[in-house]
Amino acid sequence: MERVLVVQEDPALADALLRELRRRGYAAVSVGTGAAALSSYRSADLVLLDLELSDIDGLEICRAVRDAGPTPVIAFTDRDTELDRVLALQAGADDCVVKSCGPRELIARIEAVLRRAYPGQTVAQTISLGPLHLDERTREVRLHDRTVEVTGKEFDLLFTLAASPTAAVSRKDLMSRVWGINWAQSSRTLDTHVSSLRGKLGAGGWIITVRGVGYRIGRG
């Protein structure tokens, strides 16, 4: 599950991008400022960067990300001009996409950039939330430096919640992503796994119930 950092000031556009990315199976999070982007991009597999930010010039952020390492960047711009594309590419962007492009084109461009950036390999994700660490490659859960023994579905459930650390995930989405079935058919299965995980993780509120919606990851 590749991690995409969306850097976008417009909350409505950011939410739309997050919904589409998560629907396509990406672990997507968003920040609204350039300063937040500079402190967050190292945990991402790809950065979708709005060039029109109010606090820091998007091209400056693009250069900083490129100078720091190989993390791919797709520049996101209002203007579909040759100059904008050239400036973005010269600043280190791997691609430049106009905001008016459709979701299928955007996803196709993201997939193409990821294939070039990580040839022949699947990007394994490690998530750290304070003392809680999840490794997708080894499917290991560690809490306060001790291994927590979980089942396969328990790992998938916890990983799905942790991949969207600022959002509540609906019961329907959890059943679809983890079990691949209609949540209404087996909703008690979800509750049973949540209860088991809470018992294994101990007190501290790692899985929070969001009434009328589903669950979200806590901070212990």
Q: pLDDT per residue over 40-52, tens digit each?
A: 898 899 999 999 9
CA–CA dist 104, 3 (Å, integer): 18
Contact 188, 145 (CB under 8 A): no
Contact 30, 18 (CB under 8 A): yes
Contact 2, 27 (CB under 8 A): yes
**What are the CB-based long-range contacts (under 8 Å, 24+) for 8-17?**
8/32, 8/48, 8/50, 8/76, 9/33, 9/50, 9/52, 9/53, 9/54, 10/50, 13/99, 17/48, 17/106
CA–CA dist 34, 56 (Å, integer): 5
| pTM for this predicted structure | 0.56
Q: What is the per-residue pLDDT across 126-140, written as a single tens digit (0 to 9) for each?
A: 788 889 999 887 889
Dihedral sign computed on CA atoms, order 106, 108, 109, 111: positive
Residue 56 in this model has a pLDDT that exceeds 70: yes
Nearest to 3 by CA among 102, 183, 134, 186: 134
Place of tokens 């691949």: 180
Given pLDDT bands bounded at 50, 70 and 90, which one contains residue 186? low
Provide the mean pLDDT of the chain. Answer: 87
CA–CA dist 143, 133 (Å, integer): 6
Q: Residue 47 has what pLDDT? A: 96
CA–CA dist 8, 37 (Å, integer): 9
How confident is the model over 169-191, as a mean pLDDT? 75
Contact 26, 1 (CB under 8 A): yes
Q: Residue 79 has what pLDDT? A: 82
Q: What end-to-end distance do the CA atoms of the chain give, in Å?
A: 23
Q: Residue 7 has what pLDDT? A: 96
Q: What is the per-residue pLDDT across 116-168, written as a single tens digit (0 to 9) for each?
A: 888 765 555 678 888 999 988 788 999 998 999 999 899 989 998 988 787 88
What are phi and psi for residue 91, nearest 5 degrees? -80, -5
